[in-house]
Each structure stands twice: as structure tokens, then as C-alpha cells.
Amino acid sequence: MNFVSIIMGSKSDYEIMKHCADTFEKFDVKYEIIISSAHRSPERTKKYIKEAEEKGAVAFIAAAGMAAHLAGALAAATTKPVIGVPMKGGAMDGMDAMLSTVQMPAGMPVGTVALGRSGAINAAYFAIQILAILDKELAVKLKEDRIVQAKKVETDSASIEVIL
Ligand code: RP5
């Protein structure tokens, strides 16, 4: 069973990461979502990654804030693609998490997305694009979604536009 695994460092990340899960629902893609921390529960995190890989996780999404080491810890424990979502909050309102997530040493990649809701949604899109390489039905859904997005720009514009 192929699925994508979402891991959050804290329940406080869920409000944002719910958007990630919702995106998988929208595309009918299987996912797991759990809370496990690189710092507060390192053994649980390690155990979960191993079990998820055995069950068929094809990619991991890691969301963490502040000294955000979760995505890096995942990258160290798996050779599957890891997508990092930096969370806002803390003294630097996410800049700390963004740098912690993105600044990985060579050979240990974490594909880092934007802070906040857009990043949470794009993490799911990115994982879906990975799955769609070998899944034609999913590839079609992604193309249809682009058409829907383009149409929305037009309808939104039509509702307010002034053109001379
Ligand atoms: C990180 O610390 C979590 O991912 C969260 O974004 C941040 C704060 O966690 P809480 O103190 O709200 O549990 O590990």
C-alpha cells in the first residue's frame, strides 16, 4: 500500500498541517498523520519511520517550528524523499524554523516549502507530484486541478475587474 506520511513536532502544528491532510483528501491519496518530535520523542520518531517504510510510505512530510530538526532527523533515517514544512511561531516567527529546515548538508536533502498554510498545501502537492510520476490517473487529476486554478483566477477577476 503506497501512502505519504505526515509527521508534526507538536499538536500546535496541526491547525496548519490540517491543510496538508485536506489536500491529500482532495486528491484521494492515502496518508498517515502523527505527532512525533525529533527532540521530545526521538525514539518514537525513529520507530515510526521504520514502521512506515515497511508499510509502504513513499515520501515523508515533516512539519516543525523553532529549532526545527524533525525533517533533518527524518532525512537521516530514510532514503525516501523528505519534504520539510517550517512552522511559524517562536521568537523569530518561523525564520528560525525555515533556516533549520532548509540548511541541510550535501547528500541529505530536505525539499523545503514555504512557511504556513501555503507550505502545508504545497508539501502535499509536491508528494502527489512524486506519486503521479508512476500513476497516470493522479497525473490527470493534477492537470485538471491546474485548469480549475486558472479558471478561478478568471472568475475572481471578473467579479472585481475594471478594464478600460
Ligand atoms: C516544535 O516546537 C514543534 O514543531 C512546534 O512547532 C514548536 C512548539 O511546540 P509546542 O511548544 O507548541 O508544543 O518542536
Distance 132 CA to ligand 1 centre (A): 32
pTM: 0.96
**Could you count the other beta carbons within 10 Å of the beta carbon of residue 4?**
28
The H-assigned helical ranges of 68-115 are: 70-77, 95-102
Write a three-state SS string for 125-154: HHHHHHHHCCCHHHHHHHHHHHHHHHHHHH
Residue 22's pLDDT band (cuts 50, 70, 90): very high
| pLDDT tens digits, one per residue of 27-41 | 999 999 999 999 999
| pLDDT tens digits, one per residue of 96-125 | 999 999 999 999 999 999 999 999 999 999
Q: List the domain boundaries for the chain.
A: 3-135
Report the percent of the chain where pLDDT is more than 70.
100
- CATH assignment of 3-135? 3.40.50.1970
Q: Which pLDDT belongs to residue 115? A: 96
Order of all β-strands in the sheet with 3-8: 31-35, 3-8, 57-65, 82-87, 111-112
The mean predicted confidence, pLDDT, of the chain is 98
Q: Rounded to an integer, what distance in angstroms lies between the CA atom of residue 147 and that of residue 27?
A: 15
Report whether residue 71 contacts ligand 1, using a CB cutoff of 6 Å. no
Report whether residue 94 contacts ligand 1, using a CB cutoff of 6 Å. no
